[in-house]
């Protein structure tokens, strides 16, 4: 039985190692993992590495070349307390990808990650994300040019393949190894699966057995027990958690508690109330784009498991200002906590 790894290292031949401890990673999620959410996760504890939302390489390069404040630049905004942090890029033009990676390095990111996993149709149709799993020579060209362009560690995240008949995870591991990457992360589903069905963890084990690189396992980690079981069953060097963290920002801390004591605490309604208020306050302070929209989005996540949570979500969805949303949250939890 494999012990849960306490740390791993992202190695670069040009700039040395970036230690990641603990061996847990917040997955990049479009529309979710902005600087506010990442800092919220980091404050809960036991998350070793943060990642940005996946960001268009063309958008990054365009924003710099035109010297304009561009929405893409907001995706790459981060605070000092987020280190270590990796910027995740997507695209299919090796030259543009390399230039975007250099920009990310100049902005102070500890590592750059390339996305070969996004299953969204509009990304795949541009030969980005998991669309590149059908063009492995281009994958190699992208990784080679990006690796040559930057000094910080380079990693990539990919799905197991296009579908069950076109599995390429072993080849992706070999290409990554040949091009000097520091680690690979695999979501153990195919592009055809999307987020449906079950993640096939044996693929992670097979990838780990076929490469010398650190392997980060991703897919269907919903509890601390799942995280430990993934390591035991696959031998992966770290675990990456995405959607679970949206509704349970305490998941990383719970993993730490579970490893230390064999048990872990569940968030109370008071804790959910306080984390909603904290997140909303951080959004206002950050002057995020579409603050009210973000509040409504995360109210759905954070009220998961809250008694009468539907009532709160309906009340919030009708509001148009941050102040009104916060008032609705205060009113709801004041009533619910008294009733409890």
Predicted confidence at residue 72, as pLDDT, reads: 61
Q: What is the pTM of this model?
A: 0.93
Predicted confidence at residue 71, as pLDDT, reads: 60
Predicted confidence at residue 68, as pLDDT, reads: 56
CATH at residue 16: 3.20.20.70
Asked if residue 316 belongs to a domain, the reply is yes
Same domain, 191 and 284: no
Same domain, 241 and 321: no
Total domain count for the chain?
2
* 84 and 112 Cβ atoms separated by less than 8 Å: no
Asked if residue 150 belongs to a domain, the reply is yes
Asked if residue 2 belongs to a domain, the reply is no
- Which residue range is the domain that position 166 belongs to? 8-261
Asked if residue 3 belongs to a domain, the reply is no
Predicted confidence at residue 127, as pLDDT, reads: 67
Predicted confidence at residue 100, as pLDDT, reads: 96
Return the closest-CA partner of residue 188 out of 117, 120, 140, 131. 117
Enclosing H/E stretch for 275: helix 269-286
Asked if residue 105 belongs to a domain, the reply is yes
Same domain, 69 and 161: yes
Q: In b/e form, how buried is each residue of 258-293, taking b as 16+ CB within 10 angstroms?
A: bbeeeebeebebeebbebbeebbebbeebebeebbe
From first to last of the 340 residues of the chain, give the pLDDT tens digit: 358 999 999 999 888 899 999 999 999 998 899 999 999 999 999 999 999 999 999 889 988 776 555 566 677 889 999 999 999 999 999 999 999 999 999 999 999 999 997 767 767 766 678 788 889 999 999 999 999 999 999 999 999 988 889 999 999 999 999 999 999 999 999 988 888 889 999 999 999 999 999 999 999 999 999 999 999 999 999 999 999 999 999 999 999 999 999 999 999 888 988 998 999 999 988 876 688 998 888 888 888 778 888 888 888 988 999 999 999 999 988 887 666 5
Instruction: Among 240, 261, 282, give the residue marking a domain's end.
Output: 261
Separation of alpha carbons 168 and 161, rounded Å:
5
Catalytic residues: 118
Structure tokens at 5: 């790894």
Same domain, 257 and 278: no
Asked if residue 1 belongs to a domain, the reply is no
Same domain, 73 and 134: yes
Same domain, 164 and 287: no
């Amino acid at each position: 039985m494999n012990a849960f790894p306490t740390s791993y290292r992202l190695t670069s031949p040009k700039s040395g190692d970036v230690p990641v401890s603990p061996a847990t990673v917040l997955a990049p999620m479009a529309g979710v993992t902005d600087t506010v959410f990442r800092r919220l996760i980091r404050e809960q504890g036991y998350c070793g590495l943060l990642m940005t939302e996946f960001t268009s390489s063309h958008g990054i390069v365009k924003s710099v070349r035109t010297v304009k404040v561009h929405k893409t630049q907001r995706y790459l905004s981060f605070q000092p307390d987020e280190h270590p942090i990796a910027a995740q890029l997507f695209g299919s033009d090796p030259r543009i990808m390399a230039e975007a990676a250099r920009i990310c390095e100049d902005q102070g990111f500890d590592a750059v990650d390339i996305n070969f996993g996004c299953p969204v149709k509009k990304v795949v149709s541009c030969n980005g994300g998991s669309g590149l799993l059908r063009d492995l020579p281009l994958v190699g060209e992208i990784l080679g040019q990006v690796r040559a362009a930057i000094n910080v560690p380079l990693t990539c995240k990919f799905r197991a393949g296009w579908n069950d008949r076109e599995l390429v995870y072993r080849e992706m591991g070999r290409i990554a190894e040949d091009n000097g990457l520091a680690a690979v992360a695999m979501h153990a589903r195919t592009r055809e699966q999307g987020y449906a069905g079950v993640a096939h963890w044996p693929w992670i084990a097979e990838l780990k057995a076929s490469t010398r690189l650190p392997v980060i396992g991703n897919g269907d980690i919903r509890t601390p027990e799942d995280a430990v079981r993934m390591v035991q069953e696959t031998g992966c060097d770290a675990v990456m958690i995405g959607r679970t963290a949206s509704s349970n920002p305490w998941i990383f801390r719970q993993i730490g508690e579970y490893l230390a004591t064999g048990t872990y605490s569940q968030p109370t309604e008071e804790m959910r109330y306080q984390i909603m208020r904290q997140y909303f306050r951080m959004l206002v302070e950050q002057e995020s784009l579409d603050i009210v929209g973000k509040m409504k989005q995360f109210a759905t996540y954070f009220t998961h498991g809250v008694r009468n949570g539907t009532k709160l979500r309906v009340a919030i969805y009708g509001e148009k200002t941050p102040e009104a949303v916060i008032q609705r949250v205060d009113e709801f939890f004041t009533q619910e906590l008294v009733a409890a």
